[in-house]
Structure formats: structure tokens, C-alpha cells
Amino acid sequence: MSPTIPPLAAKLDGLRSSAIRDLLKLTGRTEIISLAGGLPDAELMPRARLAEAAEAALSGNGCLQYTESPGWGPLREVLVRRESQRLGRAVELDEVFVTHGSQQALSLLAEVLLDPGALVIVEDPAYVGALQVFRAAGARIVGVPLDAEGMRLDVLTELLARGERPALVHTVSNFHNPGGVTMSSRRRREIAELADAHGFWVIEDDPYGELWFDSPAPAPVAAYSRNVIRLSSASKILSPSLRVGWMVAPDRVCRAVEMLKQGADLCGSALTQQIATDLLSDESWLAGHTDTVRTTYGDRAKSLVNAVRTRFGDRVSCSDAAGGMFVWAEFTDGTDTKQLLPRALDAGVAFVPGSAFAVDTDYGHAMRMCFTTSDAATLDEAIARLARAAT
Amino acid sequence: MSPTIPPLAAKLDGLRSSAIRDLLKLTGRTEIISLAGGLPDAELMPRARLAEAAEAALSGNGCLQYTESPGWGPLREVLVRRESQRLGRAVELDEVFVTHGSQQALSLLAEVLLDPGALVIVEDPAYVGALQVFRAAGARIVGVPLDAEGMRLDVLTELLARGERPALVHTVSNFHNPGGVTMSSRRRREIAELADAHGFWVIEDDPYGELWFDSPAPAPVAAYSRNVIRLSSASKILSPSLRVGWMVAPDRVCRAVEMLKQGADLCGSALTQQIATDLLSDESWLAGHTDTVRTTYGDRAKSLVNAVRTRFGDRVSCSDAAGGMFVWAEFTDGTDTKQLLPRALDAGVAFVPGSAFAVDTDYGHAMRMCFTTSDAATLDEAIARLARAAT
């Protein structure tokens, strides 16, 4: 008798794989210059300093054991100091929780903050990893468009006036992925006031805040309200292989997240958390290292934007290269970027079409380009190829 | 105006924190000998070999980047070889998926295999980390008692005959936590046949299989049916700080888990996965190392069991010390272990009362004792203290 094959859960039918991850698999061909990725440059990761920290963690009294679910104690203490500076108030230890990258913070928070059918407001275009998590949690998702000052709060205010009651609003406040923009100080204060007045959570997702090119990002949204949960990460400034992210959130949120983290994976890695502690607490080294990353990415970003402006002129409008890892560009002549992509791949360049990030709009003429892993000459060649594909 | 504080998700009300984790926080006092933990001995973790592997991973061409969601390729290849040997068939690469400890495999599988209300059969007493995950998934949980041969399949068969249709059955087949027993070969074949006949999944959760003392564990349940998903881990033989677990499951299960892992935390740590690859592929070193762990734990286990038998005689019946990390003991004279615990703590010894692991039964007279982190003299003193507390 042949065995009866059991089914998978019916609820899986509604989930989709990440379009970007699937695309990345296709753009690994070496002859293609990929602007489609979203990876920090591995060449800039502090290999020697990481090795030194790993050696220290693995010799003598370093911890090789399971660690506490909220994170390795000394790491949380370093983060308390760091986040207190950032937020301009004394952050408590119980408000700091270490996660397996900030993606895990998003997924645990979705469980902690959302009942099925809850309304979640996201930026449009949106960070795909957040969308995926909120969809899996069974949320109703509404997108609010971005402009040059970040999330359009006039649109959010109108939604609230119509009686919409979001459980949470998600924002990538600094150097948006994919939109490139940074929320203005005025709007940061305003969205915090809305959160306080209407009693909703804001998740301020900030993996890129340290990667400013000309001037630091404004004070975080979380500086203006305790209803704001701030996420950050070591992935973009040190190495994603540490899988160290963290959140600053009210104690009761952290305790609920702790309960779910025990079920999700018990705890993080004491090894990588010790390494992160070492590097994040070495403040003068870290300042110099971060500065190098900023300068390198800043030069690349400006090369990319210059190349786009030179080759395309008015045909493409492009976000400023103020920080982060991405430039968002829109064709003004009706060019469809999904149709352009196969021609671009033939010409030897990859990007992500805007539609991959679209929530309630289309962004059919837009694209996201990542500048982190290519030098100026390569970026120029990439845009030359794109221009040939787009003729 | 004072801010309006947003609520947490209503569904959280039904979840509980891990009783064992909460208890562990209370037993950290140095004057207490704790048999309540569930940790491998950090002294036996291969610090120098880990340091060597970390140095190799961080120098030269080691990967510091995000890795693929199913795990670092070379690690999956090592696991293919290892699991092919274990299962007696050629395991395919697409059947192997690396997780953040095997706890993450449980939590992702609960999402992939269970719709709310699905029936899950667990062993009674049960591994608490599994219970927590299945509860969070909204499953209906039924416990099947253990005896000296493992899960009582006569009880399972009766449930099936009554028309119960489990979506999955969870078993810790080797050196059960907390029950200490190992499922017999006959029952392994039999439960696999039931899974094939009735079309349910079996999760064979095997973190302790390598830790046999006198003779190796029987061939895994997964050797008898493709409806069995096998979980294993590097935590107990190398170090939990690697956070490296893995599953062997049909390709379609792995692909569904992959989709959810992207949302959960994107990917594991390329650093710790490279370290695990290095150590797991160094077969002759690993054999020697594992042997040392086995011998040390075996001696401790036997000391503990001897001490219990010497001090308590017929008053306590105790599982054999055949492998793993735990001994399960039951008072035969009606002593209530939950009432005993505070007196035991006063006497300077901690254990976990059986009720912490109970599903449908009570186990009010039972307790779990972990022998991994104490030497023979300490274990003897612990049982002497327990005997004083229990007079």
C-alpha cells in the first residue's frame, strides 16, 4: 500500500515568497552588474576586528552556552548607552531586546501587536520584509504614499478622520528602502503626536540611520513618544552574519516578545552577541569604521545619481543620495520597468522594478537601485547598459 | 493631554511563559545545586576547536554576508552526508534545512503544518518548548503516555480507531526530555506505518541522539517513512551558542519553511554556520570529542541514578541512564514534588516538578533531574539534600 501523504496547512496558500529574493537568484550571473541586491559591501565589513572579538569570546571566560531570550546582558547594556544617546533620555535595560536581525523584531512584534484583521499602515512603496510579515499575521494593510519628506501625514490624518483605527504604523524613517527619502523632523513630531492621540503603535524601522553621507539623520520618531518602537541593527554597519538586531520598546512589549522568542528559537547566539558587544562598545574604533563606510557609500551613491542624471536627463527623476543603500528612480516618459527588466538583463544590468514594493499604487515606472557593492566605474557602466536597454 | 496607550494583541492572553525558564531564574543562587536546568556542560564545549574554526571563517574568503534562508551551502552538504548515513538512504540537498536551533524548526513547522484547531499528539510528559509552540499555533493538543519503550502506541491506535485525525505527532524518540526513555525499534517501525496509513506527519525531535552511553540509539523513525520530519541540532554536541539546528523533510515542506523563514528572520548566521560546517565535517575529531561528552555524561548519569537508588530505595522509581541529559524519577509513596520543591530549595537543591511537563495527566509525584553540569560528588550531595528535604 502506498503511503498517504499528509497536507500542509491551508493558510499557506495566501503567502508569497519574497519577489526580491526570487529575483536575486536569477541575477547571480557574473556578466550582469546587479543593482538589484540589497546587501551591504562585504569588503567593508571589519574582518580583522571581528576575528579579534571572536578570539576573545572563544578564549577564557567567553560564554558558549544558551543565553537569555532578551539577549546577552553586556550587549543590552551597550545598547542602553547607545540608545539613550540617540533618544535623548535614559533608556532602561528592560526596554532593550536583542533580536536575530531586525527582521525577527518585525515578525515577533507582528505576533505581539496584531490580532487577525488588524489594520496596519505601511509606507507605499514599502519594505517588502515588513509587508510579508504583516500579511502572514492576517493584517489588513493600507499604504500611505511617500514624498520628499517621508510618509504623507496628510493622507494618514485623512484615514484617521474617516474613522480608520490602525493597530500600528510602520515607517523606515531614515534613507527609506526602497524610496530613498528621510522623514522630516516636523513629520516625526507630528506622527508621534498622532500615535499618542489615537493610541496606535509606530514601528520605526531604522537599519540605515548610521549610513548618512553629508549630515546625520534627525532625532528618531521614538524621541517624541513612548508609543514608538524603535528597531535597529548591526547588519549594515558591522556584518549581517552576526544576526544582531535590537528593539527599544516599553517593558510590557519586551516581555511579550520574550515569551514569543522562547517559542520561536529560545535565544540568540551568545557568540555573535559577544562579538557585537565588543565592536559596538569600542566607540572610537566604531566611529572611524562607520565613517569609512559612510564615505565609501556616499561616493558610490553620488556616482550612481550622477550617472543616471547624465545618461537620462529629464527622462528619469531620482531620489537624492543622502544616505542608506538605495536610490529610487522613476521614468517620466511612461517606460514600464517590469517590461524593461528582461531587456536590461540582456544588456547586462539588473534592478528591482518598482512594482515589487507597491502596496496600493503601481510604481510601474519606478525602480530601486542599490549602490553599495559597486565602485564608481562599475555603476557608470551599469547605467550606460541601462540606457542602451531603455532606448 | 496624556497619551493614549495602545493595546497588545488579544490572542496573547492564552499564552504562558515557559515554567522552566521562569524557575531557572530563581535557582541561580550559588548555594543551590541545580538539577533543574537543561543545559549541556559548557566545560565540555570544544572552545579551542571553535576558535580555530572562527579564525578560519573570519580570515581570507570566509562569508560575512547574509546567507541563504535554507542555510550555508557547505553546511547543508555536510548534513546531507551525515543524515544519509543516519537514515540509510541518499538524502537530497533540498531535503535539508538549517534552522536557528531545532526550536526554530518546531516553530516554523507549526506554521507550515498546522491550521488553527488541528490535532497535535504529543508525548505525556512532553517537551515544554514543543507544547508552547503548538499551543501558540492554536492546535488542539492530546497527550499519549510514555512507558519504557517510548510513546504508547496502543493508546495512539485507540485514538485513531475512535476517529481522531492528527495533523502531526511529536516525539522525542531518543533519551526523552523529560522522560528519559528511548522509543524501541519495534515502535519506531509501527508509528511510521501508522503515519503512512493515516496520512499524518511525525516530527521526530532528536537533539540527544548522539548522547548515548552504552549503545547507540536505534535507527530513527524517519528511516521508515517519508512522512517523518527529523530534527537535530549541534547544541548538545558542540555549543548552543552556534544556534545551529537542522531538519530533514520532504522538499515541499522545506520550501514552505523557507518562505516563512524569510519573514521570521531572513536567514541564519553565515559565521556560526561556517564554524559548524568546519567542526561537523572534521569527522575523526568529532568522533573523539563526542566520545568524551558521552563518557562524561554517562558517568554523571550513573552517579545520579545510583545516588537516588541508594538514598531512596523503593521510595523513588527512576529511569535508566542510557543517554541524553535527564533522569525522570517518580515518588512511589505519594510525595508531591511541587510541595517538595520549596523545601528542596531550602535544603540547597533544585529540580523541576513533573507537573511542569504534564499534558493530560498530572505527574504530581514525578520530577526531572539534569545531570550534565555536576560531577559525581556534587550529584551525590544534591541527592543527599533532596533526601533530607523529603523526610
pLDDT tens per residue, range B13-57 = 766 555 555 655 666 667 899 999 899 999 999 999 999 999 999
Residues 198-237 of A with CB under 8 A from B: 198-201, 225-227, 235
CB-closest option in A8, A69, A243 to B252: A8
Q: Which residues contact A254 (CB under 8 A, 6 or more apart)?
A: A70, A94, A95, A96, A97, A247
Residue whose grid cell is 524593461: A340
Q: What is the pLDDT of residues B333-369, one digit of tens each?
A: 999 999 999 999 999 999 999 999 999 989 999 999 9
Give yes or no for residue B66 having a pLDDT over 70: yes
Residues of chain A positioned with their CB less than 8 A from the CB of B166: none
pLDDT at A24: 54
d(CA A149, CA A155): 13
- Please, how many CA atoms are within 13 Å of residue B244, restricted to the half-sphere of its CB? 27
pLDDT at B25: 64
How high is the mean pLDDT of chain A? 94
Chain B residue with minimum CA distance to A270: B241
Q: How confident is the model at residue B60 (pLDDT cuts 50, 70, 90)?
A: confident
Q: What is the pLDDT of residues B70-115, one digit of tens each?
A: 999 999 999 999 999 999 999 999 999 999 999 999 999 999 999 9
Residue whose grid cell is 533540498: B94
Residues 166-195 of B with CB under 8 A from A: 167-168, 195
d(CA A62, CA A81): 22
Q: How confident is the model at residue A273 (pLDDT cuts 50, 70, 90)?
A: very high
Q: What is the pLDDT of residues A100-159, one digit of tens each?
A: 999 999 999 999 999 999 999 999 999 999 999 999 999 999 999 999 999 999 999 999
Per-residue pLDDT, averaged over A162-166, amounts to 97
pLDDT at B320: 84
Asked if the C-beta of A21 comes within 8 angstroms of chain B's C-beta atoms, the answer is yes
Cell matching residue B56: 578560519
pLDDT at B17: 58
pLDDT at B14: 60
Give yes or no for residue A19 having a pLDDT over 60: no
Please report, as a single letter, which amino acid is at residue A177: N
Asked if the C-beta of A78 comes within 8 angstroms of chain B's C-beta atoms, the answer is no
Domain boundaries, chain A: 11-40+287-389, 62-281
Q: Which CATH number is B10-39+287-389 given?
A: 3.90.1150.10
Q: Which CATH number is B63-281 given?
A: 3.40.640.10
Q: CATH classification of A11-40+287-389 is 3.90.1150.10, yes or no?
A: yes
Per-residue pLDDT, averaged over B310-330, amounts to 95
**Cβ–Cβ under 8 Å, residues B184 and B219:** no
Asked if the C-beta of B61 comes within 8 angstroms of chain A's C-beta atoms, the answer is no
Per-residue pLDDT, averaged over A262-271, amounts to 96
| ipTM of the complex model | 0.95
CB-closest option in A58, A64, A199 to B4: A199
Q: What is the pLDDT of residues B179-223, one digit of tens each?
A: 999 999 999 999 999 999 999 999 999 999 999 999 999 999 999
Q: Which residues contact A49 (CB under 8 A, 6 or more apart)?
A: A279, A282, A285, A289
pLDDT at B357: 95
Q: Do B64 and A45 touch (CB under 8 A)?
A: yes
Cell matching residue A226: 513612548
Angle at A214 between CA A210 and CA A215, to 5 degrees: 65
Tell which wins on pLDDT, B211 or B12: B211
Q: Do B270 and A240 touch (CB under 8 A)?
A: yes
Q: Which residues contact A31 (CB under 8 A, 6 or more apart)?
A: A348
Q: Is the peptide bond before A125 cis (omega within 30 degrees of 0)?
A: yes
Q: How confident is the model at residue A18 (pLDDT cuts 50, 70, 90)?
A: low
Q: How confident is the model at residue A25 (pLDDT cuts 50, 70, 90)?
A: low
Q: Do A66 and B262 touch (CB under 8 A)?
A: no
Chain A residue with minimum CA distance to B135: A263
pLDDT at B61: 85
Q: Which of A23-37, A320-334, B155-169 has the lowest mean pLDDT?
A: A23-37
Q: What is the pLDDT of residues A297-320, one digit of tens each?
A: 999 999 999 999 999 999 999 988
pLDDT at B30: 75
Pick left, alpha or beta for residue A91 (phi over 0 → left; psi -120 to 50 → alpha; otherwise beta).
Answer: beta
pLDDT at A10: 86
pLDDT at A247: 98
Q: Which CATH number is A62-281 given?
A: 3.40.640.10
Q: What is the pLDDT of residues A52-73, one digit of tens each?
A: 999 999 998 899 999 999 999 9
Asked if the C-beta of B41 comes within 8 angstroms of chain A's C-beta atoms, the answer is no
The two most distant CA atoms of chain A are separated, in Å, by: 70
Q: Do A266 and B103 touch (CB under 8 A)?
A: yes
H or E element, residue A384 = helix A376-389
Give yes or no for residue B280 having a pLDDT over 70: yes
Residues 122-151 of A with CB under 8 A from B: 129, 132-133, 136
Q: How confident is the model at residue A11 (pLDDT cuts 50, 70, 90)?
A: confident
- Name the β-bridge partners of B122: B143
Question: Measured on CA atoms in the order A191, A193, A198, A202, is the torsion positive or negative?
Answer: positive
Residues in chain B: 391
Asked if the C-beta of A295 comes within 8 angstroms of chain B's C-beta atoms, the answer is no
